[in-house]
């Protein structure tokens, strides 16, 4: 997407289809086009019934929570599938601060994954999805801490924006806005739901929303609160166990299927049958009509309904018309990875019996261009018609700005808030910006709207048809194998970087790739490349030597591929999971080198069981730790005595089944003189007694969320804080997001504690690092968030981890 580039209106080259031609009928979710990576379908009788439920009335409900897993999926399903209401879930953030059970994505990449998981759930329950600019900075224990990260008025303005755009009669708050909500971000969501209900109808609040965005004041009539965790406060119960006759399953079953799509958060749920209570409490009522959901609210369609209501009704009518007429519509491109300046063919194909006056148009960004259709074909009394257009992606001096980028990532964040670009104003608050290349079809004289994202399709020999989004990529895609790496001051070890180039063009491209280094560092010799076909790929290894007398601090290395007069230093990554839509985003080809004082013990071989979203092994290898990944075979029957230490990754007892099955072998290794270091685990670890001596983890678990919180060494002579690195107060500087999580609350006397930390206003916690002699070896449980600190290059975390790897294997005196 364009970075800092002025937004220009869409061009709409019109391809008129005469009377008797056909209309599309892929039935889209109400929220957006982002689900459309399936072959065309009318949706059949199921879709017809669902769309008919939405006609002839105006019921609108906005549900507000803090995170992607906070939504009441069953309430949304009952509202849309059961009552025919237009419903939406507004999540303040995208869940970037959480953990990831299914892959390596953290931070912004995790936010993309969780946004897609929300959209996958919305495709089942039929609701829409909105967000504010807030970035999930991690767990917060108080409302004040949350507002220290998120400007309160900015978050409120974003919520009011959605209220005025969506125009709900009812707001449902998931949270109360009190300390009883726990998480400070939950409290913020409860507060902002109440406050938006109060001020959204006040034209003097945020008048710029009307002046700049055309969003006039809107007054919701009822405010409810979800009572899932507060059943005694319930005033209204809805039946989620009722049957959706169109699909033959209950609303609860549909909702739990959607809930289970939050796979990165281990949210899988059973789909039980029978009654299921959806509970809410009426908090404020401007109608005076009482508890029933829409009592006292005029849900009839007026003679001139609001524009958003009109658009919704037209869309539902269009889908019904498409199903009834048996119409299919498709739009495909001849390439899924296109570069600026490339000409691509787009074929729009319509089949069915469209009403007279129907028309189709291809929609492209204003800075792209399109040539008239090259030809058309009509067969069987015009029941099939195809048109081919030639589309050219933006080129020229600002071509780099055309690279596909989610709008909320187009500009650098400001603290814990995304900066939304002006050119994406029409998409502010949406999950993603609309597809840059799509087809629109208008049915008949009423111009009933249907849309179809242009995709690329191909035949997979095993799976059949596979669809991909059209993504704008650089001519040469450049990626480095790590974002951050730590080097020990005084070490002669070079920084080894692997740079991977992927060719995005169809013609030939040649050039040189190198690493640009800071002033004073030895220059890096470039390497030649030459690509002759699209999607060709090659990797190059560079050993970068640091400057003599390298100073402690951060230094930037940039991989650059030079082709003629162009420089390429960006790579486009694509989120790939079977339960969500593929989603691309760019990343600069930059590695930050952090120079620090670091001593490593002499190690021959360290075994590592990878955990969830675990990039610790790569961080350790980069500083010279000889890590070997232990797979299920090694855990089952490998010779564990070969290893100086075995490290268990975060939540590995959940992600690696063989670890749980063969935990006895791991403990035997320690008893025979080995060193086992277990990073944070969840409740399963405690319940199944995988540790050699009892520990407990509180619910909710003890954690230190303030990454700047003071840490006290309670056992100053312990080797874990003295050898080979003397841990001092400086080692706790520069940590990211948190100190640790899932600390032990109680532990057996066999363990010794070493560190004590506390969040403001809380008692000290010593359960973040437990060390116990075990036979002739040593066993460690650590809740310290090494999985965040080591990939981020935090020097103190590396020094402490090196000390753990150096712990003596025989019992302490």
The predicted-structure confidence for 64-102, as pLDDT tens digits, reads as follows: 999 999 999 999 999 999 999 999 999 999 999 999 999
Question: Which architecture characterizes domain 59-299 according to CATH?
Answer: 3-Layer(aba) Sandwich (3.40)
The pLDDT of residue 29 is above 60: no
Tell me what pLDDT residue 257 has: 96
What per-residue confidence (pLDDT) applies to 429? 98
* DSSP strands (E only) in 597-739: 606-609, 627-629, 645-648, 675-678, 695-696, 702-704, 711-713
CA distances in angstroms from 453 to 35, 37, 127, 135, 329, listed in the order given = 9, 8, 20, 28, 11
Q: Which residue has the tokens 């969003």?
A: 215
Q: What is the pLDDT of residue 353?
A: 86
Q: Which of 292, 126, 153 is nearest to 221 (CA)?
A: 292
With 70 as the cut, is the pLDDT of residue 447 above it? yes
On the question of pLDDT at 221 being above 70, the answer is yes
Position 150 scores a pLDDT of 98
Burial of 578 (0-12, 13-18, 19+ CB in 10 A): exposed
Integer Cα distance of 749 and 811 in angstroms? 14
* CA dist., res. 137 & res. 758, Å (int): 19
Mean pLDDT of the chain: 91
pLDDT tens track for 621-640: 999 999 999 999 999 999 99
The residue written with tokens 């749980």 in the block is: 660
What's the pTM value of the predicted model, to 2 decimals?
0.90
pLDDT of residue 810: 62
Residue 772 in this model has a pLDDT that exceeds 60: yes
Please give the pLDDT value at position 18.
34
Task: Report the pLDDT averaged over residues 669-679.
Answer: 97
User: Helices 152-166 & 184-199, crossing angle to 10 degrees?
Assistant: 50
For the ranges 304-308, 313-317, 370-374, the maximum mean pLDDT occurs at 313-317
Flag the least confident range among 15-24, 294-303, 694-703: 15-24
**Residue 195 near residue 246 (C-beta atoms within 8 A):** no
In this predicted structure, the answer to whether residue 445 has a pLDDT above a threshold of 60 is: yes
Residue-range domain boundaries for the chain = 1-58+322-413+433-467, 59-299, 473-596, 606-805
Q: Are 275 and 74 in contact (CB under 8 A)?
A: no
The model's confidence at residue 386, banded by pLDDT at 50, 70 and 90, is low
The CA distance from 356 to 358, in Å, is: 6
Q: What is the pLDDT of residue 369?
A: 85
The pLDDT assigned to 492 comes to 87
Over 80: is that where the pLDDT of 27 sits? Answer: no
pLDDT score of 374: 56
Lowest model confidence (mean pLDDT) among 110-114, 154-158, 193-197, 386-390: 386-390
Residue 734 pLDDT: 96
pLDDT at residue 391 is higher than 90: no
Name which residue leads in pLDDT, 293 or 28.
293
SS3 call for 233: helix
Residues 36-59 pLDDT 10s: 589 999 999 999 999 999 999 999
The residue-averaged pLDDT of 463-484 equals: 95
Would you call 24 helix, strand, or coil by DSSP? Answer: coil
Q: Count CA atoms within 13 Å of residue 560 on its CB side.
A: 15
Per-residue confidence (pLDDT) for residue 20, from 0 to 100: 34
Terminal alpha carbon distance of the chain: 62
Q: Is the dihedral of CA 148, 151, 153, 158 positive or negative?
A: negative
> Do the domains at 473-596 and 606-805 have one common CATH topology?
no
**Residue 575 DSSP one-character state:** E
We find that the CATH architecture of domain 606-805 is: 3-Layer(aba) Sandwich (3.40)
User: Among 250-264, 338-352, 484-498, which stretch is predicted with the lowest mean pLDDT?
Assistant: 338-352
pLDDT at 308 over 50: yes
Other beta carbons within 10 Å of 457? 14
Per-residue pLDDT for 468 more than 70?
yes
Left, alpha or beta for 613 (phi > 0: left; psi -120 to 50: alpha)?
left
Phi and psi for 432 in degrees, rounded to 5?
Answer: -145, 165
Tokens 């089942």: give the residue: 124
Banded model confidence at residue 10, pLDDT cuts 50, 70, 90: very low
Q: What is the pLDDT of residue 23?
A: 29
Q: What was the pLDDT predicted at 668? A: 98
What are φ and ψ of residue 170, in 5° steps?
Answer: -130, 135
What was the pLDDT predicted at 771? 98
User: Bridge partners of 695?
Assistant: 747
Which homologous superfamily is 473-596 in? Immunoglobulins (2.60.40.10)
Mean pLDDT of 375-380: 45
Q: What is the pLDDT of residue 358?
A: 82
> Rounded mean pLDDT of 745-749?
98
Give the number of C-alpha atoms closer than 13 A to the C-alpha of residue 32, restricted to the C-beta side: 25
Cα 352 to chain center, whole Å?
Answer: 38
Pinpoint the alpha helices (H) of 360-415: none
Cβ contacts of residue 494 below 8 Å, gap of 6+? Answer: 543, 544, 545, 546
What's the rounded Cα separation, in Å, for the pair 272 and 133? 36
Tell me the two tokens of residue 288.
């005076």
Q: Quick one: what percent of the chain has pLDDT higher than 90? A: 82
Pairwise pLDDT comparison (80 vs 17), residue with the higher score: 80
* 173 phi and psi angles, rounded to 5 deg: -95, 130
Give the mean pLDDT of 241-256.
96
Q: What tokens appear for 723 in the block?
A: 């050898």
Q: What pLDDT band is residue 17 in, cutting at 50, 70 and 90?
A: very low
Q: Kindly write down the DSSP assignment for every residue of 61-102, as one continuous string.
A: EEEEESSTT-S-HHHHHIIIIIH--EEEEEESS--TTS--SS
Q: What is the pLDDT of residue 9?
A: 28
Q: What is the DSSP letter of 237?
A: E
Q: 773: helix, coil or strand?
A: strand
Per-residue model confidence as pLDDT tens digits over 610-623: 999 999 999 999 99
Identify the band that residue 582 occupies on the pLDDT scale cut at 50, 70 and 90.
very high
Q: For residue range 504-557, what is the model confidence (pLDDT) as tens digits? A: 999 999 999 999 999 999 999 999 999 999 999 999 999 999 998 899 999 999
Is the pLDDT reported for residue 26 higher than 60?
no
Q: Of residues 811 and 434, which shows the higher confidence score?
A: 434
């Amino acid at each position: 997407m364009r970075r800092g580039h002025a937004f220009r209106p869409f061009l709409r080259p019109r391809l008129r289809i005469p009377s008797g031609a056909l209309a599309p009928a892929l039935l889209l979710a109400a929220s957006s086009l982002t689900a459309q990576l399936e072959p065309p379908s009318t949706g059949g009788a199921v879709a017809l019934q669902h769309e008919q439920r939405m006609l002839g009335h105006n019921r609108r409900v906005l549900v507000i929570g803090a995170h992607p897993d906070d939504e009441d999926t069953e309430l949304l399903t009952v509202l849309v599938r059961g009552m025919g209401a237009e419903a939406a879930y507004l999540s303040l953030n995208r869940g970037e601060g959480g953990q990831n059970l299914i892959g390596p994505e953290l931070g912004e990449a995790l936010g993309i994954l969780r946004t897609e998981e929300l959209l996958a759930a919305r495709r089942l329950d039929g609701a829409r999805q909105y967000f504010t600019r807030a970035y999930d900075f991690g767990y917060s224990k108080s409302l004040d801490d949350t507002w220290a990260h998120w400007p309160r008025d900015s978050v409120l303005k974003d919520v009011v924006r959605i209220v005025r755009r969506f125009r709900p009669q009812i707001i449902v708050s998931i949270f109360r806005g009190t300390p009883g909500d726990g998480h400070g971000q939950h409290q913020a969501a409860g507060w902002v739901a109440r406050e938006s209900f109060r001020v959204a109808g006040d034209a003097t609040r945020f008048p710029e929303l009307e002046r700049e965005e055309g969003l006039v004041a809107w007054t919701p009539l009822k405010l409810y609160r979800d009572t899932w965790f507060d059943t005694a406060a319930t005033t209204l119960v809805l039946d989620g166990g009722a049957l959706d006759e169109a699909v033959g399953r209950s609303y609860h079953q549909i909702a739990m299927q959607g809930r289970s799509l939050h796979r990165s958060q281990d949210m899988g749920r059973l789909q039980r049958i029978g009654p299921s209570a959806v509970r809410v409490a009426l908090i404020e009522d401007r109608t005076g009509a009482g508890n029933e959901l829409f009592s006292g609210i005029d849900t009839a369609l007026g003679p001139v309904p609001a524009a958003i209501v009109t658009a919704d009704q037209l869309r539902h009518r269009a889908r019904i018309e498409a199903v009834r007429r048996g119409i299919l519509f498709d739009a495909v491109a001849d390439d899924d990875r296109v570069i600026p300046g490339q000409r691509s063919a787009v074929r729009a194909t319509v089949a069915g019996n469209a009403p007279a006056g129907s028309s189709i148009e291809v929609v492209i960004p204003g800075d792209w261009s399109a040539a008239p259709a090259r030809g058309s074909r009509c067969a069987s009394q015009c029941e099939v018609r195809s048109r081919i257009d030639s589309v050219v992606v933006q080129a020229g001096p600002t071509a780099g700005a055309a690279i596909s980028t989610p709008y909320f990532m187009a500009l650098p964040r400001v603290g814990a808030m995304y900066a939304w670009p002006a050119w994406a104003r029409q998409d502010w608050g949406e999950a993603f910006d609309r597809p840059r290349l799509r087809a629109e079809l208008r049915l008949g004289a009423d111009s009933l709207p249907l849309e179809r994202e242009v995709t690329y399709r191909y035949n997979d020999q095993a799976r059949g048809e596979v669809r991909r989004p059209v993504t704008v990529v650089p001519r040469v895609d450049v990626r480095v194998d790590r974002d951050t790496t730590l080097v020990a001051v005084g070490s002669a070890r070079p920084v080894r970087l692997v740079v991977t180039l992927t060719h995005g063009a169809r013609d030939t491209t040649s050039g040189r790739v190198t690493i640009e280094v800071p002033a004073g560092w030895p220059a890096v010799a470039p390497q030649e490349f030459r690509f002759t076909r699209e999607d060709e790929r090659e990797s190059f290894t560079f050993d970068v030597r640091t400057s003599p007398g390298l100073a402690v601090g951060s230094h930037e290395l940039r991989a650059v591929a030079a082709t003629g007069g162009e420089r390429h230093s960006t790579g486009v990554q694509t989120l790939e999971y079977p339960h969500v839509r593929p989603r691309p985003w760019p990343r600069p080809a930059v590695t930050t080198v952090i120079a620090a004082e670091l001593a490593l013990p002499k190690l021959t071989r360290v075994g590592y069981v990878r955990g969830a979203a675990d990039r610790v092994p790569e961080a350790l290898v980069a500083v010279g730790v000889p890590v070997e990944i232990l797979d299920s075979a090694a855990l089952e029957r490998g010779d564990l005595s070969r290893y100086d230490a075995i490290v268990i990754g975060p939540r590995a007892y959940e992600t690696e089944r063989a670890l749980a099955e063969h935990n006895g072998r791991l403990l035997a290794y320690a008893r025979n003189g080995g060193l086992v270091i277990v990073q944070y685990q969840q409740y399963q670890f405690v319940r199944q007694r995988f540790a050699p001596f009892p520990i407990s983890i509180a619910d909710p678990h003890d954690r230190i969320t303030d990454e700047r919180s003071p840490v006290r060494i309670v056992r100053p002579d312990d080797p874990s804080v003295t050898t080979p690195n003397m841990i001092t107060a400086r080692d706790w500087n520069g940590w990211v997001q948190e100190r640790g999580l899932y600390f032990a609350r109680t532990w057996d006397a066999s363990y010794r504690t070493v560190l004590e930390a506390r969040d403001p206003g809380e008692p000290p916690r010593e359960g973040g690092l437990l060390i116990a002699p075990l036979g002739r070896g040593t066993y460690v449980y650590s809740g310290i968030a090494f999985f965040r600190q080591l990939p981020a290059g935090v020097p103190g975390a590396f020094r402490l981890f090196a000390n753990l790897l150096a712990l003596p294997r025989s019992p302490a005196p």
